[in-house]
């Protein structure tokens, strides 16, 4: 052996000996045997949360999984989730960033991919205090209700078209439009997509495509992250480099698009002398830019987090809920009966109705339990050596919480595989991370700050779908034919998009002729609510029994100025940007 090789070997051997010593002396969680260099890559199935749940059934609720030479610890019980997310929260609050995620987030300048530290604390304060406060969510409520009404009209036009009689529709298509419009109007004050599926403009098309592509980055791509030399040694991995380059290009395009919108809002604010409406998230961020010392990259990254993450997770949650309702007609009928009793036949549901719709809220919870949008929580990275479940977690390890497995644990849930919303009537379980049996929005320092907005969007959209329409499978299709499998990726979408037949419900609803109606669906809903409450004999009705708005509307109905229509919807052409909220009306 020549001197150079001897020298290199002398440097390498102590390092290898140290690594071996550390492995032998640490008490790591059990798990499948890792192959040299590759770890457990070839043992994994594409849907990782199911794979890890199967391994947990064999090895126990805490397991070691090796992505190349990187240790990933997966916990699958509520007790261990508490240790990770509460007792060791600060030590496990960092974030492992895949290369594509690092490019997309400008190396953690957003909230989602930032390490725990001063920047993350500041970003979380911005989100909690400025963006997702109860006051701002209430100010933006009309947008959410407008979009829900627009979705109902679009589905009505489709299913009443004689050419579509008896044909199924792809639920996800309508969910994509309503959620995209909701998120972009809330975040940017712009509405890009029409409910007929026609793109509003090129900006909207680009934004929607890029946002949809964000969550295509899944753990399968991340496997090569931990074996860097595979990228140049094997041509098969060159495709992943191309995908990362595509991600960088997408981010650059997104930057330009959002910068244009930010400039428009800044100019509008300057023209009004700072008196312009500041309801939307972009306006809120611009108004506190100096107070929180926010740079443009940070503002853009925060907005992109909301658009990309908010879109995919909300669409997934609603589609899964609809699939479960189709497989459980008893639950669907019970929910429709509740909506008929509370909302009634002459108006549309609003978020103010939620407190009187406990069963609908339980359906949302049960759907998020059985089908959490991110079933395998994004990895927490240890910033120091910690112990979880009595096992060693070395510094630099990634820790995942298998939310999906915990939500189906038979030791903490009765009949865990059954879709039974009544379980949440019997016991009120918190959704926001305080109860470690149910963690759709995470918990602790890295919990989702927009959880309440997400719950409102899911509940509102779901309520409108089941109140205004009856749903059935196409002729010849059985309940067992609904594919309840998941696609791989960070967000667990249905493997096969849900296709069902919608027919307008026979329950009549208010129709206001355009010649008389200067108002939008929000105002109509408020009048309808007043009317219903005036006639209600329950406690809520007692407080407004003499409401003049309600009786005035009732009088208009009697006189025929307004008339019922068996369509189950309010007759408004389409939701337009709301000038009172400072939205772009061009």
Domain membership of residue 371 (yes or no) is yes
Tokens for 354? 């939620």
Assess contact for 151 and 142: CB atoms under 8 A.
no
| pLDDT higher than threshold 60 for residue 159 | yes
Domain membership of residue 483 (yes or no) is yes
Domain membership of residue 523 (yes or no) is no
With bands split at pLDDT 50, 70 and 90, how would you rate the model's confidence at 19? low
Domain membership of residue 545 (yes or no) is no
CA dihedral 83, 84, 86, 90 (to 10 degrees): 130
- The distance from CA 103 to its chain's CA centroid, rounded to whole angstroms, is 22
Domain membership of residue 526 (yes or no) is no
Q: Tell me, what's the pLDDT at 536?
A: 37
With bands split at pLDDT 50, 70 and 90, how would you rate the model's confidence at 508? very low
| pLDDT higher than threshold 50 for residue 472 | yes
Within a 13 Å sphere around the CA of 407, how many CA atoms are in the beta-carbon half? 31
Q: Which residues are annotated as a binding site for heme?
A: 448
Q: Higher model confidence: residue 185 or residue 584?
A: 185
Determine the angle formed by the axes of helices 296-327 and 329-342, rounding to 10 degrees.
Answer: 110
Q: Tell me, what's the pLDDT at 506?
A: 75
Q: Which residues are annotated as a binding site?
A: 448
Distance CA(302)–CA(311), nearest Å, equals 14
| pLDDT higher than threshold 60 for residue 219 | no
User: pTM here?
Assistant: 0.83
Determine the angle formed by the axes of helices 451-468 and 329-342, rounding to 10 degrees.
Answer: 90
- CATH number for the domain spanning 165: value is 1.10.630.10
| pLDDT higher than threshold 50 for residue 542 | no
Helix (H, G, I), strand (E, B) or coil at 73: strand
Identify any residues that bridge with 387 across adjacent strands, giving them in sequence order: 392
| pLDDT higher than threshold 90 for residue 512 | no
With bands split at pLDDT 50, 70 and 90, how would you rate the model's confidence at 408? very high
Q: Tell me the percentage of the chain whose pLDDT exceeds 90.
A: 55
Q: Tell me, what's the pLDDT at 201?
A: 61
| pLDDT higher than threshold 50 for residue 393 | yes
Q: Tell me phi and psi for residue 164, to 5 degrees.
A: -100, 10
Q: Tell me phi and psi for residue 439, to 5 degrees.
A: -130, 50
Domain membership of residue 529 (yes or no) is no
Assess contact for 64 and 72: CB atoms under 8 A.
yes
Reported as a single tens digit per residue, the pLDDT across 188-218 is 888 876 655 444 566 677 777 776 666 555 5
Secondary structure tally for the chain: helices H, strands E: 22, 12
With bands split at pLDDT 50, 70 and 90, how would you rate the model's confidence at 274? low
Sorted by sequence, the CB contacts under 8 Å of residue 121 that are 6+ apart come out as: none
Tokens for 459? 């509940």
Assess contact for 375 and 53: CB atoms under 8 A.
no
| pLDDT higher than threshold 80 for residue 545 | no
Strands ordered across the beta sheet of 380-381: 62-67, 70-75, 398-401, 380-381, 94-95
Rounded-to-5 percentages of helix, strand, coil across the chain: 55, 10, 35
Closest listed residue to residue 142, CA positions, set 185, 193, 204, 180: 185
Q: Tell me phi and psi for residue 530, to 5 degrees.
A: -60, -40
Reported as a single tens digit per residue, the pLDDT across 343-363 is 988 888 999 999 999 999 999
Domain containing 328 equals 3-512+562-577
CB atoms within 10 A of CB 134: 8
| pLDDT higher than threshold 70 for residue 530 | no
Domain membership of residue 549 (yes or no) is no
Helices (H), 60-197: 78-82, 99-104, 118-125, 134-139, 141-159, 171-188
CB atoms within 10 A of CB 352: 13
Q: Tell me, what's the pLDDT at 238?
A: 55
Distance CA(551)–CA(538), nearest Å, equals 17
**Mean pLDDT for the chain overall:** 81
Domain membership of residue 91 (yes or no) is yes
Tokens for 270? 């300057």
Reported as a single tens digit per residue, the pLDDT across 25-63 is 799 999 999 998 889 988 999 899 999 999 999 999 999
| pLDDT higher than threshold 90 for residue 24 | no
- As for how many domains the chain has, the answer is 1
Sorted by sequence, the CB contacts under 8 Å of residue 530 that are 6+ apart come out as: 544, 547, 549, 550, 553
In the numeric block, the tokens 């809220």 are attached to: 361
Q: Tell me, what's the pLDDT at 565?
A: 40
Q: Tell me, what's the pLDDT at 208?
A: 74
Distance CA(346)–CA(17), nearest Å, equals 76
Q: Tell me the percentage of the chain whose pLDDT exceeds 70.
A: 73
């Amino acid at each position: 052996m020549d001197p150079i090789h001897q020298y290199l070997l002398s440097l390498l051997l102590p390092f290898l000996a140290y690594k071996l010593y550390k492995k032998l002396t640490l008490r790591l969680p059990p798990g499948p045997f890792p192959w040299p260099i590759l770890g457990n890559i070839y043992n994994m199935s594409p849907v990782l949360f199911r794979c890890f749940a199967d391994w947990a059934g064999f090895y126990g609720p805490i397991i070691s999984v090796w992505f190349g030479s990187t240790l990933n610890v997966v916990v699958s019980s509520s007790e261990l989730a508490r240790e990770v997310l509460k007792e060791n929260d600060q030590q496990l609050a960092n974030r492992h960033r895949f290369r594509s995620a690092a490019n997309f987030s400008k190396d953690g300048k957003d909230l989602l991919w930032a390490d725990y530290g001063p920047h993350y604390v500041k970003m979380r304060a911005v989100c909690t205090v400025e963006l997702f406060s109860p006051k701002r969510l209430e100010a933006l409520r009309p947008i959410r209700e407008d979009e829900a009404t627009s979705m109902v009209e679009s589905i009505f036009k489709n299913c009443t078209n004689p050419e579509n009689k008896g044909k199924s529709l792809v639920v996800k298509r309508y969910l994509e439009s309503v959620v995209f419009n909701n998120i972009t109007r809330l975040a940017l004050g712009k509405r890009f997509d029409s409910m007929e599926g026609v793109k509003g403009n090129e900006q909207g098309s680009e934004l929607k495509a890029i946002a949809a592509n964000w969550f295509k980055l899944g753990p399968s791509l991340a496997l090569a992250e931990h074996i860097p030399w595979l990228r140049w040694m094997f041509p098969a991995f060159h495709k992943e480099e191309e995908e990362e380059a595509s991600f960088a290009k997408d981010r650059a395009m997104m930057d330009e698009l959002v910068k244009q919108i930010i400039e428009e809002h800044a100019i509008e604010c300057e023209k009004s002398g700072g008196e312009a409406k500041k309801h939307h998230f972009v306006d809120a961020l611009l108004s506190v830019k100096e107070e929180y010392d926010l740079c443009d990259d940070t503002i853009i990254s925060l907005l992109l987090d909301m658009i990309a993450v908010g879109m995919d997770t909300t669409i997934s949650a609603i589609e899964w809920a609809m699939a479960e309702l189709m497989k459980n007609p008893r639950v669907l009928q019970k929910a429709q009966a509740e909506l008929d009793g509370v909302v009634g036949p002459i108006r549309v549901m609003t978020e103010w109705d939620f407190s009187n719709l406990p069963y609908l809220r339980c359906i949302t919870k049960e759907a998020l339990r059985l089908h959490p949008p991110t079933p395998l929580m994004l990895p927490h990275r240890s910033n120091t050596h910690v112990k979880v479940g009595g096992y060693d977690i070395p510094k630099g390890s990634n820790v995942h919480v298998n939310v999906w497995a915990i939500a189906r644990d038979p030791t903490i849930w009765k009949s865990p595989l059954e879709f039974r919303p009544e379980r949440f009537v019997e016991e009120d379980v918190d959704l926001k991370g305080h109860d470690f049996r149910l963690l759709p929005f995470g918990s602790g320092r890295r919990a989702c700050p927009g959880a309440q907005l997400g719950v409102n969007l899911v509940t509102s959209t779901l309520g409108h779908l089941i109140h205004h329409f009856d749903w059935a499978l196409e002729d010849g299709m059985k309940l067992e034919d609904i594919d309840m499998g998941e696609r791989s990726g960070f967000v667990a979408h249905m493997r096969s998009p849900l296709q069902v037949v919608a027919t307008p419900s026979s329950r009549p609803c208010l129709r206001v002729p355009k010649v008389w109606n200067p108002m939008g669906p929000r105002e109509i809903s408020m009048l309808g609510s007043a009317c219903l409450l005036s006639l209600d004999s329950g406690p809520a009705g007692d407080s407004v029994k003499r409401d003049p708005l309600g009786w005035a509307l009732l009088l208009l109905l009697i006189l025929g100025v307004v008339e019922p229509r068996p369509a189950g919807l309010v007759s408004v052409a389409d939701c337009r940007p709301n000038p009172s909220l400072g939205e772009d009306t061009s």
